[in-house]
Amino acid sequence: DSCPNQGGTGCTMGAVTRPLVITTGSTSVRIPLTVLTRPLLPSIAAGGVVNGANFQPGAVAPGSMIAVFGTELSRATEVAPAALPAGLEPFQEVTFQNSLKGLVAPRFFYATPAQLGFQIPWEMPLGPNALRVSYDSAWGGGQSQWEPFQVAAVAPYIFVWGDNRGAVQNSDTTLNQPLNPAAAGSLITVYLTGQGLVDPPIPNGAPSPAVPLSQVQSLATATIDGQPADVQFAGLTPGYVGLCQVNLTVPPKTAPGEHRLVLNIGVVASNAVAISTR
């Protein structure tokens, strides 16, 4: 049988006795039946290690936010408070196959049985890697299989919502959307992850400070419908973990309507997202 408790008091090997009732005509016989219980083991879906911005397959970068999909990845649902740096005290541990000794996921943003969200350590070596999810003995022990993924120096992904709309703020910090477009020539802020190394560096799991700002080391550029847009700043968002922002100016001659925005960190292009202008 499976472990009956998935919600917060642990689950270890044991036994549960239930009555088995056999009825023949008007005669019933009750037989005590002992069933062994076992903890359900975590399992990562094939290709289930993805970036945390749009959940599409591809490489992830050191210091970025990633997601892992599967089953029994957490014994309970835990979401960090409104401020992402608050983090979690998870019931599980994520370890990496090709990494420095003892390197683990430094900060969980959320944990559910079907999905985990956390930061990849800054020191993660580039190239092929793998991770697994493990429980300590207090939570029944057990671990998932190793699930492969690729680490690249930069792997920018813009956060999305709705129908592939970018997580973009207008100059007044309101959400960019068709009913609230940005003015041509105005400054907008685009949120992403996977920007790669930053200067000054930030410790694993630590929120980025406001002073000094931690800036992306590689050159950041942007285009709107293929036309260059001036980048004013590219760096980590103060007060958050693994979250990057690019502040850019919408070209003054941009026509009203829907447009295609792409960011480049170095020579690596992000996913294309929709933005609105007026």
Which residues have C-beta within 8 Å of that of residue 103, sequence separation ≥ 6?
Answer: 95, 96, 121, 123, 124
Indicate whether 7 pLDDT > 80.
no
Identify the weakest region by mean pLDDT among 18-22, 190-194, 215-219, 232-236. Answer: 18-22
Percent of the chain with pLDDT over 70: 85
Q: Does 81 have pLDDT greater than 70?
A: no
| Model confidence band, residue 93 (pLDDT cutoffs 50, 70, 90) | confident
**Residue 38: band (very low, low, confident or very high) from pLDDT cuts 50, 70, 90:** low
Question: 23: burial class by Cβ within 10 Å (0-12, 13-18, 19+)?
Answer: exposed
Q: For residues 7 and 254, which has the higher predicted lDDT (pLDDT)?
A: 254
Condensed to tens digits (0 to 9), the pLDDT of residues 163-203 reads 999 999 999 999 999 999 999 999 999 999 999 999 999 99
Computed over every residue of the chain, the mean pLDDT equals 87
Burial class of residue 114 (count of CB atoms within 10 Å of its CB; 0-12, 13-18, 19+)? middle
pLDDT above 70 (res 90): no
**CA–CA distance, 273 with 258 (Å, rounded to integer):** 10
Please tell me which residue, 139 or 257, carries the higher pLDDT value: 257
129 band by pLDDT with thresholds 50, 70 and 90 = very high
Q: Give yes or no for a cis peptide into 212 (omega within 30° of 0).
A: yes
pLDDT at 30 (0 to 100): 77
Instruction: Supply 251's token pair.
Output: 């070209």
Q: Is the pLDDT of residue 137 over 60?
A: yes
Task: Specify the range with the lowest mean pLDDT, choosing from 24-28, 58-62, 85-89, 240-244.
Answer: 85-89
Please give the DSSP secondary-structure letter assigned to residue 155: -
Q: What is the pLDDT of residue 226?
A: 96
- Where in 120-186 does DSSP place strands (E)? 127-135, 147-151, 157-158, 160-161, 165-166, 168-169
Mean pLDDT of 246-275: 97
